[in-house]
Structure formats: structure tokens, C-alpha cells
Amino acid sequence: MSKNVATQPLSDNTRKLIIIIAIVLVAVIILSVALALILKTEEKTPAADSTDNSNSSTLPIRNGDFLYSNSDATGYPHTAVNWTKYGYKAQSGSTHDFEEITGSDNSLMGIVDVSDDNWDKVAADIAPELPAGATLQNPQKHSDELDDDNVYMIYNKQATSASILSDSVSVSSGASVKITVWLNMSQVTSGNAVIMIQKSATSAKEENWYAYDFTVKATAPNSKEGENGWIGYEFFIFNREASTQYIRVSVGLGDVYQDVNAEGILFVDDISYETVTADEYRQQVDNHSDDEVKNVYVPYKIIENEDIDDESQYAELEKAEGTESVIPFPTSQEYVDEAKYSPFTNRDDFKDGETGFTIYKITQKANSSDITALRLKDVLTLQSSPIDKDHYHISFWLRVEKTNGHAATKANVYIQKQVGDDEWEDLDTFSAITTSQEIDTDDNCGWVKYDIYLKPSTADTDKISILFVLGHKDKYTESEINNGEVPRGSLYVTSPAYEQISYKDYNNASSGTYVKKIDLVGNSASTSVTNGSFSDVNNTGKEPTSWTPVFAGDNAIYKDGKGDELESAKKEYSLVAGSGINQVGSAVDDAQKRVLQVSTNGTNFGYISNDITLSARTVYVFSVVVKLVDATNPYIYLVDNSKDREDAIVARAEKADADGQRSLDHYFDYALEDSTEDVAGWVRYYLVYVTGAESASVRIALFNGKIDDTEHFATGTILYDNVKMKSIGTYSFVEDEDNEDATNYLVQFSANSGYEDAIEDLFGKTDEDGKVVLEKDYNDILNGDSEILATLDDNAFTQPDEDTWNENSIIPEDEEDSDSGEEDTTTTTTSEVDWALLMSVISSVLMVAALLIVFVVKLFQRKRPRSV
């Protein structure tokens, strides 16, 4: 049986306490919400040309709307930030610069405010500069819908030329941009306005001109009419180069490029920049003719390497076996008539096929087992040579057209090397290519550019072909046909353009989705110097194979195309008679007894090896035995192919020091070998080279006379033999565990077997004798005083410099510098606190809460019964 429990009512004190707690909680909630709203952080992205106090423009053409001016100006016109005032300056030799305008004697230039509220002040400030009785007319804005009232004024008081030049503006590779300039010429009294889109250099040279108009008048082709007498002029730039290029915009009254004068007042506004589609650019090409005649309106220009227009640099394509047919379009109009929009190709137009340039089309047959492919008609033969351009670049444009969006319709491009009479090896592939199908809106009308960079092997001739396939390159099986895996659509390809380039151009190219770099030498480091014993000779029996005879300063040494530096009179082969293979007897075992003799009579001459590929972060030792017949010094060099001429010689031995050099033999196991020949007079010289974070390509040069001295010439004979190279160790980077605040990694060297002592003596001994792995601070390495370094000539040891070691530095998080030096256009979080409002809200809430508590207390006191 359950018990009934009577519920006791809450006492007055308890009820009072509950109510007071509730009031306090409500007050806390109200305060929390208020504080959250008042202290709320706001995300702000700086708007383009916002009217804040930063005085910094974020437009692509900075301050193209002239919103920003010097803040301390008291009278009009105001100086525009991001713009420089220039006038004409006569050419001096090959230099043709501008004359910077700093005063206002001839031209008054700057920003004016055309709003009704401020124009009276503008007119009053400029009135003293005008001729007697003249009045400055308000040009208004080119559109009444514009919020900005600033325009730029150029007032030529007399016949002269004055212009403003923008900051540098970037144009991405493969992009086309439209630049619009608004001008009001209603108060120009004589002459013309001038617009120029030029290279980034602040130079007036004609080679820097791109799109321009030297005779801008009230109307012009490619212009659009605004309000109040304003005309907008459009210019188009297409960057065909493989890298981002930079331009500047110049607008002036009179011609600062060709010294043509003008008078009066020109107003400029809203110089804008926008990317456009290939079709919009193409319309300018079709509607205008660039006949390269001065003073002709040129509304478009291509930034490109002009050399690529040589007819011999375009490869023809033909159908591969199994392909049913190929449709070529020898003119641009034929392609446009069928497929509509033209691409950004390697040419502006097809020149009716005169250059051999065209577009090819192949179409897959429905449910066919055959492949659909194009191949180069002629095999490309690549041969390495000592000329300044001995690498190769191939480029083409490609578009895939899908029928009904068929998913299997993809292209594959195979770069192949011939390995037999009819055998090909795939070197690399652009695979599963599906380009945009929206050709009417895509920036490149559905076309994509591809680049191939080739490094030829040094020993053999390489034969290269390219296979363009719609689908895959094998016949389709019955199962693939039944499963709908046969592509349905077409493949369009432009004639591949090919050119020879320098090693530096090859080295600077970056691999990626649309770029392939192919090293036909192979990615592994060389294990020897080809024909280092000089046993192999050419047909004449005089010159060693895999070595090239060169004079000092020759292009073949540097491969940079800058021209030979040695006087032509000193490059006569009569001055090097006797040079080449000599069978005087080698200092080492050599059945042929052949050595390389370098004889000079008043010149500097030698031989340079084929390319040698070195792995990254590796220690190499190069050596050569030398006998000085009647010369005083050896001249041995290591040439880095990737460096500029002034830095290309990365290690050298130019000092005769027989005992010092021979003393290193025990470190590198390179001692003169037992021989029946008399080794007297033969000495081995060493060069030590430590590669950086990237692989390297080097060559060894053996000279009589300095390789980089074209004034002091040598006479005499030097014998060279037995050129070798070895990798004696590698290095990596490890964190310094003993120093938590370290800002740099330690360099950890690992010796190859047998070279522990050499590595230790090169980079400093540690406390643990015989340790194979050494950890050293890079500063200790740079400043090391090891036994080997003390023995080697200073120039015979090369390692990464301090900046290169520093590239591997660790920067603690609390010391990271977030200032990149560039303008910040990212979203930022700000917190602007209204302290008066904050204190007011807090005091109000507390006051109300206190009053409520007092009221509750009084209420319960009144309800309490009086005692009798």
C-alpha cells in the first residue's frame, strides 16, 4: 500500500531567491548578446579602388580611374599615384628613353574633379595658366552613371608632347586582354592624342611598341561613343609567350615616341583592363590589318618570339595507319566556316597555306575497331652539338570535339623515340585530354596549347615522332565496341611548330599538365666522362670523339648565343697546330698510348667534353692527369650549362702544384696506376663539386691559356689524359635536435663506401672518428678549414653558396614574416568597438536588473504578515 505524500509549498524566501536568480540570468544573457553584437568581428575584402584612406589602387592598371591622388595638394590639378609624367627625349645611340616631366612650364598635368560641387574651384585654380580670355570647359564624365568624378587632364600650353605612363601590368601566358582608354579631345586645338600599349621597359624604342594609335581623333576604328564628347578606344593584346609578360599603358597629347607636338587640353579617364575570349580577339585580327607602317592604327598585337614564323619550323602531319581520312584546313576561313571560332594558334592567320601551317581534323568512324590518329610526316632528327642552341621545343594547339558529349571521346598524345626500323618507344604522354566543349564562351574557344622540351642525348642521334590519337592507339576489341568505349567525335590539331633552343631555355621550362620536359640523356647521373682516356678518335685520327675544340670566349663553351669574345685574328687554327690526339705514351695503362695534346702559339684554345648529368645534393670529384711540356700552368675547368656566361665556370685549376695535387690521390683512389711508361712529369689534378637542390649538367674543359681571358694569350704545349669523375657521397637536411630555436637545418653528409675519410676531411671531422654520416651546420661547411680544402686551390672546390644553403632554413612559427611585399587583397577580419555604446548597454542592463531585484524584495516584504 502506497503512502500519500503531501507537497509542501515553497517558502517566500525560496521563491524570492528563485526570482532573483532568474533576473540575474536574464541580465547575463542580455549582456552576452549585446557584447557579441558590439564586439562582432567583420570580414572585409578591400573593394577595387574603394574610397578609404590607403591611397592605393587595386585595379589591374593601377589607378586607371584616377581615384587616388596626392593627399596634401591644395590646388588643382592633383598628382596621380601610380602614373609617371613623361615627355619626348632624343635618341642617343641605341638608347631611347623618355624625359620625365617634373614642372609645369610647358605642360600642366594632373587629376581634376568634374563634379558640379568642385568644378568652380578647379576652373579657378587652373585659370591663371590659361591664355587671356580663355575658359576651361567642364568635360563631365563619359557616363553619368559613374560614381567617380575624377578625370586626368593634360594641358599643353604650347606645341609640345606630354604623356602619362602606367605602372607595369602583367599578361598571363596564353591570355588575351582588352585595354580600354576613354578620351575627351573637345579642347585639343592642334595635333593629336596618342595611345600606346608597350613593353614594360620605360623605353621609347620601337621594338617595345605593341598596340598603338599615333593619330587619335574624335572618331577612330574600334572605338565606342560615350556621353559628353567622350570616346572609348579599345586595344587587344595576346601573350603567346610561354611565360607571363608585362606591359605599360601610355596616353598623351602629342607623340613622346616620335617627337610630334600638339596643343590644347586632353582629358583621360577609366583606363581599364579585362581578359577576353579568343573569338573576341580574333575579330580584331579579321577586321584590321597590321601593315607595320608608322602612324597606322593598330588595335591588336601579339607578344611572341617572332623567329617562330620561319616556314621550316612547321611540321606536316599525316594519317597514321588505320585512320580513314584527314581533313586539313589550309586557310583560317575554311576552318571558321566549318567549326566557327578560331584558336589562339602559333600564327595570326594561315596565309593561305604559304607557311605550311594549318589545322588538321580527324574523325572516328562509328563502332570501328581501327584507331584514329595523326603522326608527324617526317621524323624529327635531334643531334646535340656545341652550338648555342642545341635543345628543342615543340608546340601545338589541340581541341577535342565530342559528339553528344560522348564520355569516351578523349585524346592522347604520345612523344616517341625510334628504337628500330619500325619500332617506337613512348617517352612521355599527354593523356586523357578533354578540352572545353563551350567553344563560344571558352577563352581559347576550346583549344589548349601544349609544349614539349627535348634534351638530346650526347652520344647518338635521336629520331623523334609525335602521335596524336583520338581514343587509344591500339585497335578496339569487340568488347570495347559493345561497351561504347569507341570515341565519337573529332580531334583538331594545329601544325606543330618546332625550334632549337638553348640549354638555359630548356632548363628554365617547368613541367606540368600542358608541358613535358624529356631528357634523352636519362635522369641518372653519368658514371664516367665519355672518352676520358682519349682512346676513341674520329675518321681523321686526329680529334677525340665526344670532345669539341674551342677557342676562349666561344659560344660553344657557354651556349648563350651572346657571340664569340675572342678577336677573330686569334681564332686561326694555324695558331693551334699540333693540337689533338698524340701517341706520345700515356701516364696510365692505355693500349693505344693516346693523350690529348693542346698546343697554342699566341691564343687560348682547348677541348670541352659532352654534357655530364649530375644528381642533386651529391659530392663529385673530377680529375685529370696533366703533363706540362713547355707551359707553366694547367688550365682545367668545370662549366655549368645552366648558368649565365659570367658564372658558368664553377670550378677551375690554373696553378701548377705537383706535390699538392698528388697528395690527394690517397683520398680518391685515383693514384697513377702501374704502367710500363715513364710517369715522370705527369700529375693528377682534382676538382670537387657539390651540387645544389637541383640536378646539374656540366662539361669539363681542358685548355692551354685561360678559358675566359681574351687578352693574355698562351704559347706552349700541355698534355692531358685519363679524365675521370666519381660520386663520393650525398647530403640531406635534418633538423638540429640539440637546438630547438635553430633557424637552419643541419647538413647531413653520407659517404659512399670507401670515401669516409674524404667526406670527413672535406666537411670537417667530428668527435666520433670513422663516422660515416656527418651532421654539420652550413656555416661550418662554408668556413671549413679541412685538410683537403687546405690542399686544393680555392677555385678547385665548389659548393652551394650561403644563399643556397639558406633556402633550406627553418623559420619558427612565431618569427614568420607574413608581409610578402605585395598588396593585400585578401579578406581581413576587423573589430571596431564602440566603447560608449558598450558601457551604455552594460550600465542599462545592470540598472534594470538591480531595480527588478529591489522590486522583488519589497514585494515579498509587503506580503509577509505582521506579527501580533
Q: What is the DSSP string of 393-435?
A: EEEEEEEEEESTT-TT--EEEEEEEE-SSS-EEEEEEEEEE--
Residue 289 has pLDDT above 60, yes or no: no
| pLDDT tier, 606 (very low <50, low <70, confident <90, very high otherwise) | very high
- What is the distance between the alpha carbons of residues 210 and 199, in angstroms, rounded to a whole number? 7
Q: CA 238 to CA 221: how far, in whole Å?
A: 19
How far apart CA 512 and CA 509 sit, in angstroms, is 10
Give the 3-state secondary structure of residue 357: coil
Q: What is the pLDDT at residue 180?
A: 94
Convert the pLDDT of each residue in 688-747 to its tens digit: 999 887 788 899 999 999 998 888 899 999 999 989 888 888 887 776 666 655 555 677
Grid-cell match 635522369, residue found: 523
* Residue with cell string 621597359: 201
Q: How far apart are CA 440 and CA 836, in angstroms?
A: 58
- d(CA 609, CA 700) in angstroms, rounded, equals 5
Among residues 50, 59, 56, 64, the alpha carbon closest in space to that of 268 is found at: 64
Confidence at residue 384, expressed as pLDDT on a 0 to 100 scale: 64
What gap in Å lies between CA 702 and CA 653, rounded to an integer?
Answer: 10
Over 60: is that where the pLDDT of 93 sits?
yes
Predicted pLDDT of residue 730 = 84
pLDDT value of position 658: 65
pLDDT at 390: 74
What are the angstrom distances between the C-alpha of 703 and each of 284, 585, 596, 608, 626? 57, 20, 10, 8, 11
For 189-201, give the DSSP string: EES-EEEEEEESS
Least confident window among 311-325, 369-383, 391-405 = 311-325
In angstroms, the CA 466 to CA 424 distance is: 10
Query: What pLDDT was estimated at residue 825?
Result: 36
Distance, CA of 599 to CA of 206 (rounded, Å):
48
Residue 231 phi, psi dihedral angles, 5° rounding: -125, 135
Q: Which residue is associated with the grid cell 637541383?
A: 694
**Higher pLDDT residue, 314 or 662?**
314
3-state secondary structure of 235: strand
HEC string of 707-747 equals: CCCCCCCEEEEEEEEEEEEEEEEEEEEECCCCCCCCCECEE
Q: Does residue 677 surpass a pLDDT of 60?
A: no
- Phi-psi label, residue 214: left if phi above 0, alpha if psi -120 to 50, beta otherwise: alpha
Residues whose CB is less than 8 angstroms from the CB of residue 744 and which lie 6 or more positions away in sequence, other chains included: 736, 777, 778, 805, 806, 808, 809, 810
Among 34-43, 418-427, 483-492, whose mean pLDDT is lowest?
A: 34-43
Residue 769 confidence class, pLDDT cut points 50, 70, 90 = very low
Q: How many CB atoms lie within 10 A of CB 618?
A: 19
Q: What is the pLDDT of residue 607?
A: 96
Question: Which pLDDT band holds residue 343 (cuts at 50, 70, 90)?
Answer: low
Identify the three-state secondary structure at position 726. strand
Q: Which amino acid is at 406?
A: H
- The mean pLDDT value of the chain amounts to 79
Angle CA(136)–CA(142)–CA(147) in degrees, nearest 5? Answer: 100
Which among 464, 459, 462, 460 is positioned nearest to 498, based on CA atoms?
A: 464
Q: Is it the case that residue 297 has pLDDT exceeding 80? A: no
Question: Using an 8 Å Cβ cutoff, are 358 and 350 in contact?
Answer: yes
Question: In the predicted model, is pLDDT for residue 54 greater than 90?
Answer: no
- Grade residue 555 by pLDDT with cuts at 50, 70 and 90: confident
235: left (phi over 0), alpha (psi -120 to 50) or beta: beta
pLDDT score for 219: 59
Asked if 161 and 254 touch (Cβ cutoff 8 Å), the reply is yes
- Inform me whether the pLDDT recorded for 500 exceeds 90: no
Report which of residues 107 and 350 the model is more confident about: 107
H-helix or E-strand containing 788? helix 787-791
Instruction: Tell me the average pLDDT across 182-199.
Output: 92
Q: How confident is the model at residue 807 (pLDDT cuts 50, 70, 90)?
A: low
Q: How many helices (H) and strands (E) does the chain have?
A: 14, 43
